[in-house]
């Protein structure tokens, strides 16, 4: 029994140390994978609208349970996947509660976007959730009383990282279609504008040239003497064009 007591005490000490380490890790706040140099502020926080004002209450996490604790049991959060390097940030605004989820790859962002759109269609909420995919971000505004104001808030979010697909870009056809449509529209507008400008210039040049020619002919006519086509014959000077006889 004397030999087993030190072993039991040692085992008990190891268990306490391990459990304390787990408890400490559980209480340690999540640290973002990408932080700014110098100030150590997570980059995703700096992509919040007016981040200097809300950084004090912004919360970064990689746990859906934390999101539900902060935002509530919202059905769309069930399809938000924060695995494989994804992380999220939440902040409160006058327009509503903002959630930005950043995915590590465009593929993961695309798959998540499809699942989110389907879930929002299947489980609408009141007030409705304002959602938008911005680059590799999935941005939400919850409890938005004004949908237009919530959309304006999402307009302030800019995804400033370059997106590079590992394989073929699945949106290449859509991008080419948008490019062709925008190019064709700009070309048509430029053509119509050029035609209208040419017609307007031609009309203005014709009117201005005619006015100058009229003024020139009028000045030439005013310097000529009056004449008659009587050819020197005796005629009645009814129109007073003939010179008086001496």
Q: Over the chain (246 residues), what is each successive 10-residue block's mean pLDDT? A: 52 53 44 69 86 88 88 88 86 91 88 91 86 90 89 86 65 78 87 92 92 86 63 62 61
Please give the Cα distance from 133 to 108 (Å, whole number): 12
Structure tokens at 176: 């080419």
Residue 20 has a pLDDT of: 44
Q: In what order do the strands lie in the sheet with 59-61?
A: 59-61, 87-93, 96-102, 137-142, 130-134
Q: Hey, which residues does 133 pair with through a beta bridge?
A: 138
Gap between the Cα atoms of 138 and 89, Å rounded: 11
State the maximum Cα–Cα separation within the chain, in Å, rounded to a whole number: 168
- Spacing of C-alpha 28 from chain mean position: 36
- CA-CA distance, 158 to 43, in Å (whole number)? 12
């Amino acid at each position: 029994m004397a030999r087993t007591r030190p072993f039991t005490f040692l085992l008990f000490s190891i268990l306490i140390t391990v459990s304390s380490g787990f408890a400490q890790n559980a209480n340690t706040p999540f640290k973002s994978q990408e932080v700014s140099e110098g100030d150590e502020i997570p980059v995703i926080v700096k992509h919040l609208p007016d981040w200097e004002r809300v950084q004090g209450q912004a919360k970064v996490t990689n746990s859906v349970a934390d999101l539900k604790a902060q935002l509530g049991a919202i059905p769309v959060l069930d399809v938000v996947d924060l695995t494989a390097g994804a992380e999220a940030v939440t902040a409160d605004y006058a327009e509503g509660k903002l959630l930005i989820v950043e995915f590590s790859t465009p593929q993961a962002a695309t798959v998540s976007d499809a699942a989110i759109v389907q879930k929002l269609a299947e489980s609408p909420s009141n007030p409705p959730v304002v959602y938008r995919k911005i680059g590799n971000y999935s941005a939400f505004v919850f409890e938005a009383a004004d949908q237009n104001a919530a959309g304006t808030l999402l307009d302030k979010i800019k995804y400033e990282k370059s997106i590079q697909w590992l394989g073929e870009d699945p949106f290449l056809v859509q991008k080419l279609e948008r490019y062709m449509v925008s190019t064709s529209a700009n070309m048509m507008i430029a053509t119509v504008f050029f035609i209208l400008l040419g017609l307007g210039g031609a009309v203005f040049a014709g009117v201005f040239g005619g006015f100058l020619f009229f003024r020139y002919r009028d000045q030439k006519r005013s310097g000529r003497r009056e004449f008659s086509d009587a050819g020197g014959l005796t005629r009645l000077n009814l129109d007073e064009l003939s010179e008086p006889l001496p």
